[in-house]
Amino acid sequence: MASLIGDTTEHAANRNDWKKHAGDDDQIHLENNDNALPSSLPRGEQHASVVAAHYNHLEEKGLKERFNSPIFYLRNFNNWVKSVLIQEYTDKIREKDYGRPLRVLDICCGKGGDLSKWQKARVERVVFADIAEVSVQQCQTRYEDLRRRCGRLFSAEFIAADCTKDTLRDKYRDPSINFDLVSCQFGLHYSFESITQARRMLTNISECLKPDGYFFGTIPNAYEIVSRAQKSSNNTFGNTIYCIKLLFDTKEGYPLFGAKYDFHLEGVVDCPEFLVNFQLFVKLAAEYGLELVYSAGFSDFYKDHSEKYKQLLNRIICFESYPAPPGKELIGEEADYEHAKAHWDQIKERDQRDRLGTMSRREWEAATIYMAFAFKKQKSTWDSNGKPVYKSSTEQTRSK
């Protein structure tokens, strides 16, 4: 069996090859072998502290600043995606067992951007974990504020840990806890620095997840990144609100782990990240009893869920009114709304007060860098060596 890991000559050189190789069972050999990292890459510790320092120093933005942000609608849209995922998978668990108190692991939780989503989902307990200590403290403070304001709230615990290196189970108040859901929003890609880290992350995710429980999340879509990079002249692309620069020599191919890039997103992210080869991720996750049940880029995610969650889209203001209402200005420049203008011009009978809901081209370009996914934990039996043997479920997989 040919091993892609540690053998750069075998690294697929373009998007399609990369996809094909990673999905081809004969071509992939998942050993605990970190040779996949080009030797010039800094090793774990150094990179982890850069990421932790970046998120620790991220300022909390006030309401006014958020309203004036050039990524106001993008942020809201990202929150809509996360809310939909949380709602969909809490509902799926409750379809089977309505009264069940739900326990959740929010891994890479940051400052607790999803606290109120868990509150609305009426879960019983959430364990929040993140590498950035200051963010975890802010998450705890926000949780306590929320509890003071609303009285009844889920119980919670807060863990500052490198989830790609530490064993979370050792840090839980109750190490025998089982989760119904594990959510990892915009964080899993940090573990793709090396296969060892990806494995540790997946162990933390899967170890305490109940059979039939769900693991879901959002990550930058590597195929989208690679395809946009290939259209650029210097492996750098973006616009005024986001910019991505691949930091490895693509002529050498695309490493399966440690494929580092710089990601700048206006006022939110500005640090190095790693491409997640999705088919490899799916294959690796299967070893931990996690079976893919859904995956879609944000554009398709929107198509799949916008009808059902239309009210939520409006409530959290995911779209900008076009044309701008009297006394207001559009967030972007005129050229960012050509799509909306073309649509607007086609509407024959319209009232002066009518508006379209849209997103500026720049924000949509940034939004569609991401993808969402969900896995279901399979039931297992044990082999003679005491290792779990997972049974595949029959659930349909939608994969794009």
Ligand X SMILES: C[S@@+](CC[C@H](N)C(=O)[O-])C[C@H]1O[C@@H](n2cnc3c(N)ncnc32)[C@H](O)[C@@H]1O
- In the list 5, 41, 109, 359, the residue contacting ligand X (rule: CB under 6 A) is 109
Interface pick for ligand X out of 77, 115, 187, 290 (rule CB under 6 A): 187
Nearest CB to ligand X, comparing residues 10 and 133:
133
| Binding of residue 261 to ligand X (CB under 6 A) | no
Q: Does the footprint of ligand X cover residue 85 (CB under 6 A)?
A: no
Between 63 and 347, whose beta carbon lies closer to ligand X? 63
- Stretch of residues binding ligand X (CB under 6 A), selected from 128-136, 274-282, 294-302, 351-359: 128-136
Stretch near ligand X under the rule CB under 6 A, chosen from 25-33, 127-135, 141-149, 359-367:
127-135
- Contact residue for ligand X among 186, 216, 294, 337 (CB under 6 A): 186
Position 295 contacts ligand X (CB under 6 A) = no
Number of residues that bind ligand X (CB under 6 A): 20
Q: Which of 81, 89, 93, 113 binds ligand X (CB under 6 A)?
A: 113
Q: Which of residues 48-77 bind ligand X (CB under 6 A)?
A: 48, 51-52, 55
Closest CB to ligand X among residues 185, 360: 185
Beta strands in the chain (DSSP E): 103-107, 125-130, 155-160, 179-185, 209-220, 236-238, 242-246, 260-265, 269-274, 290-297, 320-322, 356-358, 370-377, 380-382, 388-390
> Residue 211 Cβ, how far from ligand X at the closest point, in Å?
25
Classified as helix, coil or strand, 273 is strand
Gap between the Cα atoms of 242 and 145, Å rounded: 32
Residue nearest to ligand X (CB): 110
Sole binder of ligand X in the list 132, 209, 282, 371 (CB under 6 A):
132
* H helix runs in 247-390, sequence order: 278-286, 298-305, 310-315, 338-346, 361-367
Residue 201 and residue 288 in contact, taking contact as beta carbons nearer than 8 Å? no
DSSP 248: S
Q: Which residues pair with 245 in a beta bridge?
A: 236, 262
Report how far residue 311's alpha carbon sits from residue 349's, in angstroms, rounded to the nearest whole number: 25
Angle at 125 between CA 117 and CA 292, to 5 degrees: 70
Q: Provide the sign of the torsion angle of the four alpha carbons 243, 247, 252, 257, taken in this order.
A: negative
Does 164 interact with ligand X (rule: CB under 6 A)?
yes
Query: By C-beta, is 57 or 315 nearer to ligand X?
Result: 57
Burial of 382 (C-beta count, 10 Å sphere; 0-12/13-18/19+) = exposed
Which residues, in sequence order, are CB contacts of 399 under 8 Å at separation 6+? 292, 295
In terms of DSSP bridges, do strands 388-390 and 380-382 run parallel, antiparallel, or are they unpaired? antiparallel
- Is residue 372 a contact point for ligand X (CB under 6 A)? no
Q: Between residues 186 and 390, which has the closer beta carbon with respect to ligand X?
A: 186
3-state secondary structure of 241: coil
**Tokens found for residue 391:** 């049974």
Shortest Cβ 369–ligand X spacing (Å): 12
Is there binding between residue 273 and ligand X (CB under 6 A)?
no
Task: Work out which of 34, 162, 336, 365 binds ligand X, going by CB under 6 A.
Answer: 162
Does residue 258 interact with ligand X by CB under 6 A?
no
Which of 108, 123, 205, 229 binds ligand X (CB under 6 A)? It is 108
Cα–Cα distance between 2 and 158 in angstroms, integer?
Answer: 43
Binding residues (CB under 6 A) for ligand X: these are 48, 51-52, 55, 108-110, 113, 130-132, 135, 162-164, 185-187, 190, 269
